[in-house]
Amino acid sequence: MNNLSAAAKKRIYAKEEVCIGCRLCEIYCIAAHSQYRDNLIKTFKKLTKRPLPRIVVEEEKPVSFGLQCRHCDEPECVKACITGAMHKDTETGIVTNDIERCIGCWTCILACPYGVIKRDYQNKKIASKCDLCMESNMEPACVKNCPNEALYIKASS
Amino acid sequence: MSFSLLTPEFIVERNDERCIRCQVCVRQCANLVHMYDQEEDRIVADDSKCVNCHRCVALCPTRALTIRRNPLEFKENANWTTSAIREIYKQAETGGILLTGMGNDRPYPVYWDHMLLNASQVTNPSIDPLREPMELKTMLGRKPEVLNVEDGKVKEKLPPQLKLEIPVMFSAMSFGSISFNTCQALAMAASEAGVMYNTGEGGLHKDLRKYGKNTIVQVASGRFGVDVDYLQAGAAIEIKIGQGAKPGIGGHLPGEKVMAEISQTRMIPIGSDAISPAPHHDIYSIEDLRQLIYSLKEATDYQKPVSVKIAAVHNVAAICSGIARAGADIIAIDGFRGGTGAAPLRIRDNVGIPIEFALAAVDTRLREEGIRNQVSLVCAGGIRNSADIIKAIALGADAVYIGQAALIAIGCHMCQKCYTGKCNWGIATQDPNLVKRLNPEIAARRLINLLHAWTHEMKEMLGGMGINAIESLKGNRLMLRGIGLTSRELDILGIKAAGE
Amino acid sequence: MLRYEGKIRIPSGCAISGIMNKKGQPFPGDDIIKSIALMHDRSNGLGGGFAAYGIYPEYKDLYAIHMFYDHEGAKADVEMFLNQHFKIELSERIPTRKVSSIKNPPIIWRYFAFPRGDKLAEAGLDESEYVVRCVMRINSDFEGAFVVSSGKNMGAFKAVGYPEDVGDFYMLDTYRAYIWTAHGRFPTNTPGWWGGAHPFTLLDWSVVHNGEISSYDANRRWLEMFGYKCTLQTDTEAITYMFDLLIRRHRLPLEIALTAMAAPLWDEIERMEPEQQELMISIRAVYGSALINGPFSIILGCKNGIIALNDRIKLRPLTAATKGDFVFIASEESAIRTVCPRPDAVWTPMGGEPVIALLEGVEDI
């Protein structure tokens, strides 16, 4: 298996019992998907149009956890997509949205049972969702920067 | 009273060029120092609420924050120092006892820092712990004076012993004073490192019973959570008479912290204050102590060593002699720098004596009476690093307890506000939002790392002295030399001056 | 100002040698002198000495008390004390010959004596404990007096000087013993004091020792709990008392006592059979303070034989050999071969592994 697929069998899991609701995952997610990558200050100070966080901390105190795309085995969003932009990689199982083909109809948002696809008004009318940071081929930014190890990535069973 | 004379103790400095308004600080401060002003799109701080715990500083992703001591000064006065004045303002405004947390922070001499260790040169070789065996294993418990051996076999079994891989244990810290996650981290680390942690007086949570082999269960004056199952759940039992941070004072866990889990563990109603009386009301004398020691031994079929923990007070040597003769297997002495979750400030800062003196005096006294080997001595109260441990053992300790050092390892920043229950690090709190912040797995890993690091350092120091087993250091005061001490102090410590 | 033993702790390196006839046949001191002389460079002329067993057959039931006195006053005081506590059969100067390198000898005296019955009964102690207490008392309370040895049918002979000169000085060629041990000393920061030379003795225990034990103060403070007074502050003194405590007073079998002093490592103990393991754990728990740590090789002499022991990681040399009825032990093999060129067997004991040589027909030390 190549690197990509080895990493791709992995999924991000949340440990709600140690999520502290700091939302650093969201902040690092934004930066990771911006043109400035890991530079938080530039991402937030220079960009007026920032990417949306693709992970969102759901919170009802004291319960909180970071939620992002589950990369479902049978993704409703892929079924619902009218242009074929939303697709599941057959090898890695990662669900990604091809922004070139996305027309911003947002049917995927309606279909997603987890509410993890967002409308991205600022940057074109497309759907924004977790890509497991596959592009950077790094440990996902949210996992790497969680101060309490409340997010972790491991091979899905 | 709405108007206060108390000015902020600290100032929160925010570098606006770095602040990205992510509001992590806002979400993390349990003292509500930081606030996001939406209209101005900036974060502002209420300095007066800041306790300087560094939670916001540590979590700020752009390092935009610093906390400084408020530079505001009173007119210089060697007698009426800033703290002396502020304490009066506080009391004038509240009418209450001043409370504090952790150990004595006054600038009394730290005698560990006035003792230097020996190393071998020429006349005997130092030992390299990377290449030669170096043994730190320690056994705590009563030892007979003579071993009876017949036909190559032990005639009488040893009394029960605690086996420690290294001579370090985690001090008594109760569930209540610290969070469940902290208790769990201590238990996990003790279990992994082959040492002991101590439940403190708050009982033993049912989920932690599986760590029993590495648990010392404490029996204190409030008897919280004590029943026969509890006594049998641990590897040893400790009777807590006193605590270095507050000798002569009991504990008080306010009712609002007594939620379901604590109520169940302590065996008291939800919401009721958990008050440990100052003395045990069944121990008004040494002979009463003997009765409790033997009651506990009876209850556990003489299978567990019984420890007695006292605060280091003026007459500590004689008291310990009495405790040894009363049947204790282990004596733990807690010096005046010992930590606490809550203590009256005046008591913490003014009662008790340094552990270095107490330990030396007790070890000397027990030897003079020829009973030193009957008991193990555990030294506690402000042990900061592996060198302190080595020095304590050379003075005469069998092992040490670490409390504050362990908490620092898992995030404590010594803000001394444990008693408020708002510990931003999830340690000294029962607030479920805050407790979550201490991930027991991370904390246990950090504790194990600390013990691991200290193990290496202790081995290096031992090897340097030409010693390859910790028992050869015990009471080996020739390995110590005093520096900057009066001859009286040297006498009490039983050591020579550097150069002698 | 330089200070003597007892005022300050003095580490030293050394040479040791021991020869024994297992049948108990006495032989003169020439060989032991020759053996220790070969290791001349292991000493620096600041101390040498010998212990000899079987040298006083005509007084074999009496305690032979060898003494050093700095001055006549000390002698008078101690003799008054001895007369109160012992019946003295013979009191005499220990014969010496003039040797140019041996200077400033103290008054060297010996007494053959036995405890006074009434005093012994009054003390309520067994005889050997009574003698030990008297020895401790003299060494700690009488200024200028030092008990060199106090056993029966044995004696220690020591001085400041190279050991071969010391042997010559005491005319050891004229004595015949079935066990000889010898010591050449290399103290590191002292002018050398006659009392501080080795062997160190108590009753019929004698110890010659090469090394500097790093556990000294742990051992000393433990011994002092049992009433020993380590007045000399030397390793050898502490080791001697250790043998006395473990074997005579605690009645530990010899091999258990030796195990306590050079205990197996915890790693080794973990691999032992349960029964053996329990024994070892118990020894280490109870006698942790008897563990001798740091480099040492020692030869313990007593009326029944000699025992040699190394520290458990062998930081000092020790070699043993046998030839017929003779057992040889020395710091260096050459020191054996110089008196026994073709031994039947020669070996280097492992760290912590004792060499036990007992007289024939003797079961225990």
Show me where the domains of chain C are located: 12-358
**Whether the bond into C115 is cis, omega within 30 of 0:** no
Mean pLDDT of chain C: 92
Q: A-chain residues within 8 Å CB-CB of B22?
A: 23-24, 27, 40, 44
Which is nearest to C175 in space by CA: C299, C52, C329, C300? C52
Range of the domain at A62: 1-68+132-157
Establish, for the pair of chains A and B, how many residue pairs have beta carbons separated by less than 8 Å.
57
- Among C215, C226, C316, which would you mutate to test the B interface (most chain B Cβ atoms within 10 Å of its Cβ)? C215
Find the CB nearest B372 among C225, C250, C291. C225
Across the interface, whether the CB atoms of B18 and A147 are under 8 A apart is answered no
Check: CB of residue B406 under 8 Å from CB of residue B447: yes
**Residue with structure tokens 């740091």?**
C294
Establish, for the pair of chains B and C, how many residue pairs have beta carbons separated by less than 8 Å.
127
Across the interface, whether the CB atoms of B154 and C278 are under 8 A apart is answered yes
pLDDT category, C218, cuts 50, 70, 90? very high
B470 to chain C nearest CA, in Å?
9
Q: Please tell me whether residues A63 and A139 are part of one structural domain.
A: yes
Across the interface, whether the CB atoms of A21 and B433 are under 8 A apart is answered yes
What are residue B253's DSSP bridge partners? B274
Q: Please tell me whether residues A46 and A123 are part of one structural domain.
A: no
CATH number of domain containing A120: 3.30.70.20
Q: A-chain residues within 8 Å CB-CB of B184?
A: none
Q: Which chains touch C (3 or more CB pairs under 8 A)?
A: B
pLDDT of residue C355: 95
pLDDT in tens, chain A (157 residues): 344 444 447 889 999 999 999 999 999 999 999 999 889 999 999 998 888 999 999 999 999 999 999 999 899 999 999 999 999 988 888 899 988 888 888 899 999 999 999 888 776 667 788 989 887 777 899 999 999 999 999 877 5
C142 to chain B nearest CA, in Å?
23
What residues contact residue C195 under an 8 Å CB cut-off, 6+ apart?
C4, C5, C6, C68, C146, C148, C232
Element (H, E) at A25: helix A24-32
What residues contact residue C141 under an 8 Å CB cut-off, 6+ apart?
none
Q: Please tell me whether residues A26 and A80 are part of one structural domain.
A: no
Q: C-chain residues within 8 Å CB-CB of B141?
A: 285
Q: Give how far Cα B354 sits from Cα of B101, B183, B312, B466, Å.
A: 18, 27, 7, 29
Q: In terms of DSSP bridges, do strands C12-21 and A151-155 run parallel, antiparallel, or are they unpaired?
A: unpaired
Q: Please tell me whether residues A6 and A59 are part of one structural domain.
A: yes
Q: Please tell me whether residues A8 and A56 are part of one structural domain.
A: yes
Across the interface, whether the CB atoms of A148 and B59 are under 8 A apart is answered no
Q: Which chains touch B (3 or more CB pairs under 8 A)?
A: A, C
Q: Which amino acid is at B302?
A: Y
Q: Give how far Cα B208 sits from Cα of B197, B213, B405, B437, C223, Å.
A: 11, 11, 22, 19, 43
Q: A-chain residues within 8 Å CB-CB of B62?
A: 40-41
| pLDDT tens string C81-133 | 999 999 999 999 999 999 999 999 999 999 999 999 999 999 999 999 999 99
Helix locations, chain C, DSSP H: 30-38, 72-85, 117-123, 127-141, 163-169, 216-224, 235-243, 254-261, 266-270, 274-286, 333-337
Find the CB nearest B28 among A22, A28, A62. A22
| Cα C143 from Cα C78, distance rounded (Å) | 10
The total number of structural domains that make up chain A: 2
| Cα C32 from Cα C20, distance rounded (Å) | 10
- A13 by DSSP, 3-state: which? strand
pLDDT of residue C191: 60
Q: What is the ipTM of this complex?
A: 0.91
Q: What domains are there in chain B, each with its CATH number?
A: 10-74 (3.30.70.20), 138-497 (3.20.20.70)
C262: nearest CA partner in chain B: B469
- Looking at the predicted structure, is the pLDDT value of residue C23 above 90? yes
Q: Please tell me whether residues A62 and A79 are part of one structural domain.
A: no
Q: Please tell me whether residues A116 and A154 are part of one structural domain.
A: no
| DSSP per-residue letters across C216-255 | HHHHHHHHHTTT----S--HHHHHHHHHIIIIIIS---HH
Q: Mind telling me the catalytic residues of C? A: 14
pLDDT in tens, chain B (500 residues): 579 999 999 999 999 999 999 999 999 999 999 999 999 999 999 999 999 999 999 999 999 999 999 999 999 999 999 999 999 999 999 999 999 999 999 999 999 999 999 999 988 889 999 999 999 999 999 999 999 998 889 999 999 999 999 999 999 999 999 999 999 999 999 999 999 999 999 999 999 999 999 999 999 999 999 999 999 999 999 999 999 999 999 888 888 889 999 999 999 999 999 999 999 999 999 999 999 999 999 999 999 999 999 999 999 999 999 999 999 999 999 999 999 999 999 999 999 999 999 999 999 999 999 999 999 999 999 999 999 999 999 999 999 999 999 999 999 999 999 999 999 999 999 999 999 999 999 999 999 999 999 999 999 999 999 999 999 999 999 999 999 999 999 999 999 999 99
Query: Is the CB of residue B49 less than 8 Å away from at least one CB of chain A?
Result: no
- B400 by DSSP, 3-state: which? strand
Interface residue ranges in chain A relative to chain B, Cβ cutoff 8 Å: 15, 17-24, 27-28, 40-41, 43-45, 61-62, 145, 147-150
Q: Please tell me whether residues A57 and A105 are part of one structural domain.
A: no
pLDDT of residue B413: 98
Check: CB of residue C3 under 8 Å from CB of residue C295: no
What residues contact residue C169 under an 8 Å CB cut-off, 6+ apart?
C96, C97, C99, C102, C105, C159, C161
| Cα C179 from Cα B142, distance rounded (Å) | 41
- Looking at the predicted structure, is the pLDDT value of residue C2 above 50? no
- B232 by DSSP, 3-state: which? helix
| Cα C349 from Cα B415, distance rounded (Å) | 59
| pLDDT tens string C147-204 | 999 999 999 999 999 999 999 999 999 999 999 999 998 876 556 688 888 899 999 9
Chain B, 324-383: which have a CB under 8 Å from a chain A CB?
none
Query: Is the CB of residue B63 less than 8 Å away from at least one CB of chain A?
Result: no
Element (H, E) at A56: strand A56-60
Q: Please tell me whether residues A64 and A77 are part of one structural domain.
A: no
* CATH number at C12-358: 3.60.20.10
What residues contact residue C55 under an 8 Å CB cut-off, 6+ apart?
C26, C153, C154, C155, C175, C176, C177
C293: nearest CA partner in chain B: B467
Across the interface, whether the CB atoms of A22 and B24 are under 8 A apart is answered yes
Q: Give how far Cα B337 sits from Cα of A76, B39, B101, B429, B494, Å.
A: 62, 48, 11, 22, 21
What residues contact residue B405 under an 8 Å CB cut-off, 6+ apart?
B383, B384, B385, B450
Across the interface, whether the CB atoms of C218 and B472 are under 8 A apart is answered yes
